[in-house]
Structure 1
Amino acid sequence: MTDSLAVATWPAPQRSLRTWDVVLGWVLYAFAVPLGMFTAYITVFFAFAADSCSSGVDCAYAYVDWGIWLSWGGTAFALISALVMLLISTFKGWLMWYWPVLSMAMIIASFVGGAFLAGQEAA
């Protein structure tokens, strides 16, 4: 009975950090941040999608607004969550490189989704 208590109190073995993984994770995150900044900057030009509205085409301006919010929100969520998960992975000893890759994929997906929304015309 004493042996089962002793086994239950042993701490879990700590995983060691891999140097290549830490460096690759932070370098990829360093690429994800400018990608996010660039997509946030060109999201401002979604308003140009509504320029054809003055030529008799009925446009839904709400789609442009939602497209901008989707792109900016997705970018912010991707960058913040990747940073948080990189820090957690550092302390837990998990692999780190794929969090920035997921972040870049989310940034691109939110930008494409926002651009699709901004390009919609009123039904």
Structure 2
Amino acid sequence: MVAMDRIYLINSWPFLLRHLRLTIQSLQTTALKVFDSEQCVCPQRAVRMNSVFSPAVFPHQRSGNAARSLPSLTQHTNLWASLHSSFSWLLKACGSRLTEKLLEGAPTEDTLVLIERQTGTHWCS
């Protein structure tokens, strides 16, 4: 027996993946724009970043500073609220696009034809 949650997740996977990729690409594009604008202001930073890098040099190059946060990298002050809204929409949209139909017993051919007409899907025998 296959759990309905697994079937639901498998059927939802392309939708989820497509929208998560869009979110990731948006973050990467924004961060790249910020990086490019910072490089125009301070071009020597790239030379320092591309110099020899080893575990012994790492603390000295970082000057003890922590890695930059995602809002800092994207210069998006409300990033976490925006991501929360995006993920909330994604879950709601994913939940509303598929519905479960409870069938008692084996479905008849008439029931399958009716479901096929309503959803536009074709059942394989």
After TM superposition, the score normalised by the length of structure 2 is 0.34
Q: Which has the larger radius of gyration?
A: 2
Q: Which has the higher contact order (CA 8 A, sep 6+)?
A: 1
After TM superposition, the score normalised by the length of structure 1 is 0.34
The structure carrying a bigger helix percent of its residues is 1
